[in-house]
Amino acid sequence: MPGPPPSLDPVRRNARSGPLKLPAEGRKGDPPSWPLVSQSLAEERAWADLWKLPQAVAWEHMACVRAVARYCRIVTLAEAPDADTKLMAQAVTLEDRLGLSPKSMRMLLWEIASDDVAEKRQTSAGARGRIKAV
């Protein structure tokens, strides 16, 4: 016996929204307070750099400061010369979840918005250099 007839409702219940546009200039302002117990100098530098990225706008919106801190800690440990390879695998996994690779950005539907004004400014500046008075 066949199942129920297909729904005539054109709205998909599991539809994903369109891409999230992240600002090309990155997140503005100071990084959030470090949420873990202590912070090394390497973690402090990585923390400041991470919160300048375009992805940081989405992290802030989703309130995943602790996840970014854990990534920061793991990646600084994984980049040490004598680091265990398991740490690198954990760092790569967190990179994917935080949208730090092109593939993960595609899967999360995140796009870095192009700066159209800056591009037009560069194009017009180049054209001015080619114009000569007769």
What pLDDT shows up at residue 122?
67
For residue 109, the model assigns a pLDDT of 94
Encoding tokens for residue 102? 């092109």
pLDDT for 127: 57
Query: What pLDDT is recorded for position 100?
Result: 96
* pLDDT attached to residue 99: 96
pTM over 0.75: no
CB atoms within 10 A of CB 76: 21
Helix (H, G, I), strand (E, B) or coil at 21: strand
What's the pLDDT at 38?
95
* 99, burial (CB in 10 Å: exposed 0-12, middle 13-18, buried 19+): buried
Residues of the chain with pLDDT under 70: 1, 6-16, 115-134
pLDDT value of residue 4: 78
CA–CA distance, 96 with 116 (Å, rounded to integer): 28
pLDDT for position 42:
96
Q: What is the pLDDT of residue 31?
A: 96
**pLDDT of 18:** 74
Asked if 48 and 34 touch (Cβ cutoff 8 Å), the reply is no
